[in-house]
Chain A
Amino acid sequence: MIEALFSQPHYLAAKKALDAVALRHEAIASNLANLETPGYRRVDLAPSFQAELQRACASGDKARIAALRPVLAPDPNALPASRDGNTVHLENELLQLTQNALTHALETQLVTSTLLRLKLAITGRPT
């Protein structure tokens, strides 16, 4: 009964996306940390995660959304930035960092608004 409150598909999806954003921040942190390590290959969220999340949301299957696990993988498409084989581009990473922070703001607001709506439905008055 109480489970149903927190298991709407879009709420679950927002939580998963938030997990993914936190993990992505870790990837960007490690990329920027290894800006000058020879032969380092940049890591990012595995591209399959985005596609899987979209498909799971479209299907509306809660179990399928809940089973998703974001993972990091070396970026296969990144080109070397210099002759030492390092594939991290500083500008690109900083751009991704900002983008990721904005996505995080959006998703926390999504989660917050869901919780506030629930609260409104329970109490009957806006907090």
Chain B
Amino acid sequence: MIQMLSGIQHTAAALNVERTRLDVIAQNIANAQTTRDAQGKPYQRQVVVFETALQQSLATGQTAPEASLRVARIQKDPRPPTLVYRPGHPDADAHGMVAMPNVNLHEEMADLITASRAFEANLAVVRSARTMAMQTLAIGKR
């Protein structure tokens, strides 16, 4: 296929990955107070792990690197749940302590901003690729 917008496949992959990340952050924030999931345990924060195969393809000497940014996995944050004293809560233990999810709202908000900025940076690449393509198409015209 003719490659009109150079580098567009990396950018598309990155936009996808950032979207996944925004989804996971939304899920974390939504479940910040969930004390009981399907297994009856407090919700555990999810983290998106990115990976790339670009370096490998460069090492093999290809000039056009493959689009290979992807979500390696979505894993659980292993940090322990925070214990809050709430004796009236149905999920409280014998001492009146409730295990709340290990979601830190401030952390999630910071992540949310980083993810949306990264998304914008990739959109800037698309804009600039489009301008370059238009200029290329106008070669020979006044």
Contact = CB atoms under 8 A, between A and B. Distances in A.
Given A33-B14, A36-B118, A37-B52, A26 B7 contact: yes
B10 A30 contact: yes
Contacts of A100: 128
B78 interface: no
B122 interface: yes
A3 B29 CA distance: 65
Chain B interface size, as a band, is 35 or more
Q: Which of A27, A28, A33, A43 has the most CB of B within 10 A?
A: A33
Interface string A17-41: 0100111011111101111111011
A111 B137 CA distance: 12
Contact of A74 (B58, B135, B142): B58
Interface residues of A, number: 40
Nearest to A90: B121
A22 B58 contact: no
Interface string B62-74: 0111000100000
